[in-house]
Homo-oligomer: A and B are copies of this chain.
Amino acid sequence: MDKTATTPQVLRRANLAAVLEVMRASSAVTGTDLIEATGLTRATVIAVCDDLIRRGWVRELQAPKGPGPQKGRPARYFAFNDAAGCVLGLDVGMATVTVLVADLKGRVLARTSKRFAKEPATAAQRRATITHAVDQALASAGLGHPAVLAAGIGVSTVVDRHGNVAPGHRLAPYFDLGLQTEVWKEYGWPVLLENDANLAALAEHWCGAGAGVDDLVVMLAGERIGTGLIESGRLLHGSSGGAGEVGTLELVDGVGSHDGIARLARRWGTELLASGEPTLIRDLVGPGTTRVSARFVFEAAAAGDAAAADILERIGRRMARIIALLGTFLNPELVVIGGAVASSAAMLLPTITAELPRLSGTPPQVAVSGLGDAIVATGAVRLALDYVEQNALGLTPAQPQQDPRALS
């Protein structure tokens, strides 16, 4: 069954991985640093480093430090070769696609966004737009297709823990595009699909308001409302990937804000739905609601409009309800609010924090995301990086074009 097959080479693999992990955490290390961090001998550490250099995952720095007062033979400095390849982070939404290209430390090298042709675009059209955006992003990063070691993709539908789009969901047809099997087959990229809210959670856990918080929920509120759940540092999916899919949740006080929006429309005499903008729809405001631009409502409320303020109040109470239930069932330390509402979520916070203690015995802290509209794509980068880090020793790093002089 298990085929553990533990040969002596497995030892070396483990030590390669351990050293690589230390290197990823800091910018440059000496052999002595590695001895301390791993507990291995100097001889072993050096052998492992040379091995990693030969494999392309590590490079040796030539002019390592400032002119400090140093004694003894100068140390060799090693660093994780973050240019050994790159990863893609995609946010594929209903209307737009965003692509990030990042190096192996996660630094963004290029960013592209594209709008899909028409609202009901065919799968082929969507695939073409996505691939075009990827090509453009790679080109502007100065990288070729072979440099890509993995691609993470966030989609607005249910995805199970094996990365398969759940077939039953209403939105599944828009996102089950078979990118790995059809378009990108020739490149051989590992393609990792994940729900957008889950990726938002990965992003916040990595470099956002939830950094270092291992029991974390991120609430992605905009067109849809979804939550990404992290417990003990791990994403939760549930049996078919539906964990955190609170869009279907019927809450008592969410009904009937249609009046408010209609009044808003009469009062301001304007098109409520600016095409392509982040919108709020019924998941958030309540059933039976017209789509409305998020920016518009927040601006109206800021200008003192009573109907808009009422909508905000309603949204705040609805979110408080959901957060309270999350607190009861999952007991996260922190809930981060992201997505379209994040830019103005400060207006919602008072309502939410006022309601919470009444609704839950273990209310979590609430914070607002600072990652903006790249939150999902950033999480997709993290997902791809996780894959690369996990499978590094099984992958072949993309060797950069060698300097011919180095060969003489």
Contact = CB atoms under 8 A, between A and B. Distances in A.
Contact of A11 (B11, B214, B227): B11
A240 B329 contact: no
A243 to B, nearest CB: 4
B4 A15 contact: yes
Contact of A239 (B10, B215, B236, B240): B215
Main secondary structure of the interface of A (DSSP, over half): loop
A63 interface: no
Interface in A72-103: none
A3 interface: yes
Contact of A236 (B22, B39, B231, B252): B231
A259 B250 CA distance: 29
A207 interface: no
A339 interface: no
Interface string A360-392: 111010000000000000000000000000000
A6 B2 contact: no
Interface residues of A, number: 55
A197 to B, nearest CB: 12
B243 A329 contact: yes
Contact of A1 (B37, B227, B244, B245): B37
Contacts of A5: 38-40
A140 interface: no
Interface of A: 1-6, 8, 10-11, 14-15, 18, 21-22, 37-40, 161, 214-215, 227, 229, 231-232, 234, 236-246, 248-250, 252, 325-333, 359-362, 364
25 contacts: A2-B18, A5-B39, A6-B40, A8-B11, A161-B232, A231-B236, A231-B237, A231-B238, A231-B243, A232-B236, A234-B234, A237-B331, A238-B362, A239-B332, A240-B333, A241-B331, A242-B327, A242-B331, A244-B329, A245-B362, A248-B328, A248-B361, A250-B359, A252-B252, A329-B329
Given A2-B22, A236-B330, A239-B333, 6 more contacts: A2-B21, A6-B18, A232-B236, A240-B333, A242-B327, A248-B361
